[in-house]
Structure 1
């Protein structure tokens, strides 16, 4: 069996490594000419880290990533709403990791080259079209260096090519619109003094005005400093989806005034904003869940299948869980005299589509960050104590319900171990 993977992001690379681990041949095709450590920070929850640990990459990642110790929520006045331990401190068998996205991607790419062989990771090849027949899939790639079209044949094809997926667009050319929330994100990294214990992730504000912070560099932490990944989020007037380039560099003056008073005894957010070398602007978008991912011998994975708001630290995590499920389904085919590839892909879809669709929709309702929204709606000017506004049981239920939905409640992971 030969698998064509379109996209060398985190999901595509994880799938390639998992297939190789199961003795399944695959080739990974990426449209960019050279993989570079682009982007900002991401957070990997214990269910995703469990899968990476089974690939044998946890120790390597842990050398650079922060093992997140806690998650805190605050209102826009800096008053605490909800706090909980995370990762090892919460009793999980593996840590929750905060890391630069580019570092994670390059680590997985280097491992793919080592294990699969350099000839199985192809860059500079952009998918243009595909065809299917009862025996397999033919993919046509444009070589971005030569302009030539290259034809690749495989038994099946996996679209792991992100939110602007060419594979997804092949099957849904007219009904694949981005859904804009009306909110903009500004993301950056700032080297600064540590806040709290140097390993805590926090969120402050509410859905229309929010600030997120978490450190992402263990080497810098050991030097007494902190490399802080942060996100500022605001609802914008006249919320039409921007037509200019995304991921563009902007000046802090575009949004910083909204956070000018957010200076508390344990962190100075205006100073964090001022310390960034470059600030990138993104619209907060997702897409409506699809009725199906699988079309005969082709299916989708990760952001190509279920782009979601970056709420609850679930984007990359769900791509990794997709990869695990799909790799297991394909491995099971090895025992069959006449492998039914189409059935395996449908079984993968039947397991993963409802789960991820639920997360997409729950993230539109703020996911676990709903605790901040409730506090703001019930007491926008602050409170003496949060439990006078939102009972502790209600806060705990929101946190536990999202863990169950997203698949990282401790009981589920203990049964997986």
Structure 2
């Protein structure tokens, strides 16, 4: 079976590796960029995605470039703790959760594809712009502006925007909390996220707030922004455990991105074409799910093709699951606890239990894990998608 993959991002490369592991040898990845370089900033890989990379034989290499996340903690805009929970192995998973530079992860996957499938398995400066191909299957893994998706759904238009803008950057700063904490602080509208992705001092951060007017270039992650100007938007967010404006201002560069996603689709496949990753289900960057869901797509697609000869089982399993996740992210997912704390105690609180009771916070976190597919009991006991 000949398989063509459009896009050499995390989803496309994970698909090539998954197909190879499932017994498919004739796989070629086409990438529009003339060169694959380690671009971007930090991302999180949840335990369900780390499980799939582990079963692809990448555990040691991944551990060498990533920071194992110790906890996830939410705070209000005054720096008061709203909710915290252990993550990864400390939370009972059989696999870690990792924070990692997106570009370093992409290069790790690229090296593995070239080593296992051959140096010619990834072709750069090779853009797929239509549904025409000379293979048995075309996999559209070409991102939020997917040409394959556009050919399948030509009337869809631009990604819808929710009125918020994100700024992303990396800065060297003083380790905070556990030194391996992922934190989010906010009020449901304005938000700041930070977590280490390097040697303990390199911190990935995301700042978010509403934007007046229409955003430029929906879906462009690389629009430059001035870190000092971003820092001024968070000037009073100085906590006794983290200097938010100082961390932002310390970045050498920052990038602006309107918060956009894609509406859920009625189908992902047609004849000899199928969508995967952001091309299928681009979602708001809530709950650390973008890259993780693309990796899971890759594994399920390979299993579906190897065990049934088609993509129907893949779409039947993955499309409802990611549709539910897209819609949950539009409602702020587990981050809704910050909005609830702000709405009920906008000036802060003495006891979070009197504002958002523990039972409510616990269920918000647990419900999102179930929706996103990383409930620890279910994940630990689920059969493997490896083809044996």
Shorter-chain TM-score above 0.5: yes
CA distance in 2, matches of 1:252, 1:7: 30
| Structure 1 residues 246 and 92, CA gap change in structure 2 (3 angstroms) | closer
Q: Does 1:106 align with 2:107?
A: yes
Is the 2:31–2:126 Cα contact (8 Å) retained in structure 1? yes
- In the alignment, which residue of structure 1 is the partner of 2:259? 284
Q: 1:321 aligns with which of 293, 296, 301?
A: 296
CA distance in 1, matches of 2:329, 2:217: 24
CA distance in 2, matches of 1:282, 1:115: 35
Q: 1:347 aligns with which of 305, 313, 334?
A: 313
SS in 1 for 2:311: helix
Is the 1:11–1:301 Cα contact (8 Å) retained in structure 2? yes
- In the alignment, which residue of structure 2 is the partner of 1:159? 140
Q: Does 1:180 align with 2:143?
A: no
Is the 1:180–1:283 Cα contact (8 Å) retained in structure 2? yes
Is the 2:131–2:273 Cα contact (8 Å) retained in structure 1? no
- In the alignment, which residue of structure 2 is the partner of 1:241? 215
SS in 2 for 1:128: coil
- Once the two structures are TM-superposed, the CA of residue 253 in structure 1 deviates from its matched residue by 4.1
- Once the two structures are TM-superposed, the CA of residue 247 in structure 1 deviates from its matched residue by 1.8
- Once the two structures are TM-superposed, the CA of residue 89 in structure 1 deviates from its matched residue by 1.1
Cα RMSD of the aligned pairs, angstroms, is: 1.2
- Once the two structures are TM-superposed, the CA of residue 257 in structure 1 deviates from its matched residue by 2.2
- In the alignment, which residue of structure 2 is the partner of 1:143? none
CA distance in 1, matches of 2:225, 2:377: 43
Is the 1:185–1:282 Cα contact (8 Å) retained in structure 2? yes
- Once the two structures are TM-superposed, the CA of residue 11 in structure 1 deviates from its matched residue by 0.7
SS in 2 for 1:190: strand
Structure 1 length as normaliser, TM-score?
0.89
- In the alignment, which residue of structure 2 is the partner of 1:30? 31
CA distance in 2, matches of 1:111, 1:37: 15
Report the structure number with the largest CA radius of gyration: 1
CA distances 1:43-71 after superposition (whole Å, capped 9, x unpaired)? 00000000000011111111121000000
CA distances 1:329-380 after superposition (whole Å, capped 9, x unpaired)? 11114xxxxxxx5xx2122111111110111110010001011011111111
Is the 2:304–2:312 Cα contact (8 Å) retained in structure 1? no
SS in 2 for 1:305: helix
CA distance in 1, matches of 2:211, 2:164: 6
Which has the larger share of strand?
1
CA distance in 2, matches of 1:204, 1:356: 26
CA distance in 1, matches of 2:12, 2:129: 18
CA distance in 2, matches of 1:278, 1:130: 37
- In the alignment, which residue of structure 1 is the partner of 2:250? 275
CA distances 1:266-289 after superposition (whole Å, capped 9, x unpaired)? 111111011101000000000110
Question: Structure 2: which 5+ residue stretches go unaligned?
Answer: 384-388
Structure 1 consecutive aligned stretches of length 4 or more whose deviation exceeds 3 Å: 243-246
- In the alignment, which residue of structure 1 is the partner of 2:197? 216
Q: Does 1:410 align with 2:376?
A: yes
Within 5 Å, which residues of 2 pair with 1:18-417? 18-25=18-25, 26-131=27-132, 139=133, 153-217=134-198, 220-221=199-200, 226-238=201-213, 240-243=214-217, 246-333=221-308, 341=309, 344-416=310-382
Structure 2 length as normaliser, TM-score?
0.96
SS in 1 for 2:129: strand
Is the 1:176–1:287 Cα contact (8 Å) retained in structure 2? no
Is the 1:297–1:345 Cα contact (8 Å) retained in structure 2? no
Count of paired positions:
381
Is the 1:5–1:160 Cα contact (8 Å) retained in structure 2? yes
